[in-house]
């Protein structure tokens, strides 16, 4: 029942985020009667929404009023630094209906959000509103993962980080906050970098984090950085394309430089974990890749010349592990 009705909980959360429920009642709480006026709802569904969110642990009831739970207050209030609503919005607006066509995707091996042409990221970039929703979603997903990476990997030996396909700059922001000596570069296509510049400025890090427009398939990666990050990038593409990206990383790094692969890693026996396995199915819906195993990534890194490969487990929404390869 929990699996079969999973979309009930997901849509309850998505609607609450769309109505901005958690931001609107932050610090003051609400009653069903107040919510009808606050959000313009009919009394019957207002009461149901509050009960549903409370049952899911998103609201708590005290002395007849509903308040945000500590979880909702930290992650679902827009002004909070690790606001997760952007990812919820993207799942609801972009992926919910596309996942309804999962059986078709399984039978045809074709993405369901854009088809065959011109390509996932080109299709997103062609529509500014969709690009904004997607990049904000990736920021929501990447902020916590970026903090986990910054805490798990020792950047003290490195001076400049290149985040390839860095999107909103979340990883660079979190790493720069944790390691004050480090300079960083967000490398991505122009539409994504518009959001990145905003996020970097909001974090007060414009002096330490640069943005650089480019395409890692058609251009060589910029040199000058001694550590390169690939965060939730390689699962988008085929093994052949991933090898091409990793070779470019190797060529761009100096001797003793390092590459960091941050992903939801599949176990080597390909039986889980569930977040990685389900994200892999999402790659079927969205693109041409899948979530690969620790062993597959390790083999590719070694093929490209990286040595002393290290595995570092993580706990975050966007990544459960790092693989570190060194250019000897």
- CATH number, domain of 315, equals 3.40.50.150
Q: Is 202 exposed, middle or buried (0-12, 13-18, 19+ CB in 10 A)?
A: exposed
Query: 212: which residues sit within 8 A by CB, 6+ positions away?
Result: 185, 186, 187, 222
Which residues participate in catalysis according to the annotation? 235
Q: How many CB atoms lie within 10 A of CB 201?
A: 12
Q: Is residue 19 located within the same domain as residue 138?
A: no
Query: Is residue 29 included in any domain, yes or no?
Result: yes
Residues 258 and 180 grouped into a single domain: yes
What local confidence, expressed as pLDDT, does residue 161 receive? 98
Closest alpha carbon to 97 in 220, 193, 5, 11: 11
Please indicate, yes or no, whether residues 195 and 296 belong to a single structural domain of this protein: yes
Residue 238 is assigned to a structural domain of this protein: yes
For residues 264 and 230, membership in a common domain is answered with: yes
Residue-number span of the structural domain to which 33 is assigned: 6-75
pLDDT in the model for residue 75: 95
Quick check: is 80 in a domain? no
Residue 246 in domain: yes
Counted domains in the chain: 2
pTM of the model: 0.90
Q: Are residues 123 and 44 in the same domain?
A: no
| Per-residue confidence (pLDDT) for residue 11, from 0 to 100 | 98
Cα 244 from Cα 304, distance rounded (Å): 9
Identify the pLDDT of residue 282.
96
For residue range 68-90, list pLDDT tens digits in order. Answer: 999 999 999 999 989 999 999 99
Residue reference for tokens 């390691």:
179
Torsion, Cα 308 309 313 316, to 10 degrees, reads: 120
Identify the residue whose tokens are 């070779």: 247
Q: Is residue 162 part of a domain?
A: yes
Confidence at residue 311, expressed as pLDDT on a 0 to 100 scale: 98
pLDDT at 141: 83
For residues 282 and 186, give the distance between their C-alpha atoms in angstroms, rounded to a whole number: 25
- The set of residues, in sequence order, having a beta carbon less than 8 Å from that of 276 and lying 6+ positions away, is 263, 264, 265, 266, 267, 291, 320
Residue where a domain stops, chosen among 53, 75, 97: 75
Q: Is residue 61 part of a domain?
A: yes
pLDDT at position 139, please? 83
* Angle value at C-alpha 171, between 170 and 172, nearest 5 degrees: 95
DSSP for 23-79? HHHTTT-B-HHHHHHHHT--HHHHHHHHHHHHHTTSEEEETTEEEE-HHHHHHSSTT
Residues 187, 46 share a domain: no
Residue 17 sits in a domain of what CATH number?
A: 1.10.10.10
Q: What is the pLDDT of residue 129?
A: 75
CB atoms < 10 A from the CB of 107, how many?
8
Q: Which pairing describes strands 307-313 and 321-326: parallel, antiparallel, or unpaired?
A: antiparallel
Number of other residues whose CB lies within 10 A of the CB of residue 54: 15
> Which pLDDT belongs to residue 117?
52
The tens place of each residue's pLDDT in the chain, 328 residues long, gives: 999 999 999 999 999 999 999 999 999 999 999 999 999 999 999 999 999 999 999 999 999 999 999 999 999 999 998 999 999 999 999 899 999 999 999 999 999 986 555 566 676 767 777 777 777 878 888 888 999 999 999 999 999 999 999 998 999 999 999 999 999 999 998 888 988 999 999 999 999 999 999 999 999 999 999 999 999 999 999 999 999 999 999 999 999 999 999 999 999 999 999 999 999 999 999 999 999 999 999 999 999 999 999 999 999 988 999 999 999 9
Pair 156, 32 in one domain: no
Is 1 part of a structural domain of the chain?
Answer: no
Pairwise CA distance, residues 102 & 47, whole Å? 33
Are 216 and 168 members of one domain?
Answer: yes
Q: Residue 189: inside a domain, yes or no?
A: yes
Same domain? 29 vs 106:
no
Give the list of residues 6+ apart from residue 289 with CB closer than 8 angstroms, or none. 234, 235, 236, 237, 238, 242, 283
DSSP string, 253-264: SPTT-EEEEEE-
Q: What is the CB neighbour count within 10 angstroms for residue 127?
A: 12
Residues 182 and 52 both lie in one domain:
no
Choosing from 75, 96, 116, the residue where a domain stops is 75
Chosen domain end from 33, 55, 75 = 75
Verify that 63 and 188 share a domain, yes or no.
no
At residue 49, the pLDDT reads 98
Taking the C-alpha atoms of residue 147 and residue 323, their distance in angstroms, rounded to an integer, is 16
Q: What's the pLDDT score for residue 301?
A: 98
Residues 272 and 129 in one domain: yes
């Amino acid at each position: 029942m929990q699996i079969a009705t999973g979309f009930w909980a997901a849509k309850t959360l998505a609607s609450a985020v769309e109505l901005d429920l958690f931001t609107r009642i932050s610090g003051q709480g609400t009653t069903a009667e107040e919510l009808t006026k606050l959000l313009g709802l009919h009394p019957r569904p207002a009461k149901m929404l509050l009960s549903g969110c409370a049952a899911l642990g998103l609201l708590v009831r005290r002395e007849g009023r509903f308040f945000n739970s500590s979880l909702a207050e930290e992650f679902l209030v827009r002004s909070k630094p690790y606001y997760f609503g952007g990812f919820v919005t993207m799942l609801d607006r972009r992926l919910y209906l596309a996942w309804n066509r999962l059986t078709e995707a399984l039978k045809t091996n074709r993405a369901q959000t854009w088809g065959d042409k011109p390509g996932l990221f080109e299709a997103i970039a062609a529509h500014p509103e969709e690009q904004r929703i997607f990049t904000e979603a990736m920021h929501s997903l990447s902020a916590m993962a970026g903090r986990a990476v910054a805490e798990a990997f020792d950047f003290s030996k490195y001076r400049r980080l290149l985040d390839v396909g860095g999107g909103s700059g979340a990883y660079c922001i979190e790493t720069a906050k944790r390691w004050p000596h480090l300079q960083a570069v967000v490398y991505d296509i122009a539409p994504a970098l518009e959001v990145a510049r905003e996020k970097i400025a909001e974090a007060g890090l414009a002096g330490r984090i640069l943005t650089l427009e480019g395409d890692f398939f058609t251009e060589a990666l910029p040199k000058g950085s001694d550590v390169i990050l690939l965060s939730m990038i390689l699962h988008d593409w085929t093994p052949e394309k991933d090898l091409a990206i990793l070779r470019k990383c190797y060529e761009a790094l100096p001797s003793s430089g390092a590459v960091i692969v941050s992903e939801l890693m599949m176990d080597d026996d390909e039986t889980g974990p569930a977040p990685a396995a389900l994200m892999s199915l999402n790659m079927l819906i969205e693109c041409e890749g899948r979530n690969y195993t620790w062993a597959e990534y390790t083999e590719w890194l070694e093929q490209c010349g990286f040595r002393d490969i290290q595995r570092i487990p993580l706990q975050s929404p966007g990544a459960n592990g790092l693989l570190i390869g060194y250019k000897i």
